[in-house]
Structure 1
């Protein structure tokens, strides 16, 4: 699998991570044996890279990696100080008509402690299908833009479930009936959460970076079936 490179300099490499690919091996994904993103990059470029932030295995999109371990902390300071703006796209259950801000604590899986978390959700498009999904005779979906103000694990997935608009394809926090419909009727079984863009000032070169990751093919297939047209 060839990994798309969005940006590269002497310090970092920014890639468009495919969905269903782990960034690296971890305790939480110890049963998954497929090659990780770091494995694929090593195979392609014969280099080791060091993730600066994280994306879930089933989330696709923009990911920043350092070329040397010593640069990780330099870039992580941007995340810790909210100097990096990340924007995601999601397809969720139901119609969302107006922007909303979700402020709800998220529990850390290790410490079990709750930490404050905040997400801005902006509706873009919606679609009603004449396909019955329990308990209704039709099914409704929205394309949304999500802007996390904090970076908790699974934050966006938990927050969308919190407002009863879970992300399609989320088997942990989502709606199994809608997930099953996407599988059986639309032939799509992945999580519809995509890290679409990232914006920050490079801490070493001072270059202002605005980087965008194209949507995966399965997203384009849904856009075609939903007759959605939108310039990102």
Structure 2
């Protein structure tokens, strides 16, 4: 596996994380023995990196890592103080007709305490397919833009399920009938959630950074099937 490098300077490396790759080993993924993104990048670049934020294993897209451990906190402060704009795209079940601000607490898996979480969901494109999915004779999907104001674990997946528009390929919070249809019709079983961009002012160089991660191949395949316009 070769990981695409989106941006690199003396302090950070930003990569396009593939689907189904852990950032690092953790208790929650203790049964997964595959190489992590940190392992792959260490072999690819020849030096260690330190993650500033996290993406779920099944989520692809922009991931920011620090070259020096002492700089992690400096960049994490951008996320903690909402000085970084995170944008995701997702494919969800059903039609999202208008922008929605989802403001619903999400449970922390460590403490079991609910914490405030906020996501702005904006519809982009939609499609009706003449493919039956139980209990309907057709199936409907929306392409949405998601902007989380907080960074809770599984926040976007939980929030989209909360408004009855679960992400396609989400085997924990999603709809098994639609997931199965994507497997059978399109040979796709990945989660359709992609961290498309990060925008921030570099806290060390003061440079304005705007980074975009290309869509995975399964996204391009499905968007072509659906007749959706490219937005990259």
Corresponding residue of 1:207 = 207
Secondary structure in structure 2 of the residue aligned to 1:209: strand
Query: Which structure 1 residue ranges, 4+ long, deviate > 6 Å from structure 2?
Result: none
Structure 1 position 97, deviation (Å): 1.1
Corresponding residue of 2:33 = 33
Structure 1 position 45, deviation (Å): 1.0
Q: Which runs of 5+ in 2 are unaligned?
A: none
Question: C-alpha root-mean-square deviation of aligned residues, in Å?
Answer: 0.6
Corresponding residue of 1:88 = 88
Secondary structure in structure 2 of the residue aligned to 1:167: coil
Corresponding residue of 2:44 = 44
Structure 1 position 230, deviation (Å): 3.0
Structure 1 position 46, deviation (Å): 1.2
Corresponding residue of 2:140 = 140
Deviations 1:128-173 (A, max 9, x none): 1111111111100000000001111100000000000000000010
Corresponding residue of 1:15 = 15
CA distance in 1, matches of 2:171, 2:96: 21
CA distance in 1, matches of 2:231, 2:69: 37
Q: How does 1:120-139 map to 2 (within 5 A)?
A: 120-139=120-139
CA distance in 2, matches of 1:231, 1:86: 16
The answer on 1:196 being equivalent to 2:193 is no
Structure 1 position 231, deviation (Å): 2.6
CA distance in 2, matches of 1:95, 1:170: 17
CA distance in 2, matches of 1:119, 1:82: 13
Corresponding residue of 1:159 = 159
Structure 1 position 54, deviation (Å): 0.1
Could you state the TM-score of these two structures normalised by the residue count of structure 1? 0.99
Q: How does 1:163-202 map to 2 (within 5 A)?
A: 163-202=163-202
Secondary structure in structure 1 of the residue aligned to 2:112: coil
CA distance in 2, matches of 1:202, 1:74: 10
CA distance in 2, matches of 1:185, 1:2: 28
CA distance in 2, matches of 1:113, 1:89: 28
Deviations 1:85-117 (A, max 9, x none): 000000000001111100000000000000010
Q: Which runs of 5+ in 1 are unaligned?
A: none
CA distance in 2, matches of 1:231, 1:72: 31
Secondary structure in structure 1 of the residue aligned to 2:198: strand
CA distance in 2, matches of 1:127, 1:197: 24
CA distance in 2, matches of 1:46, 1:6: 17
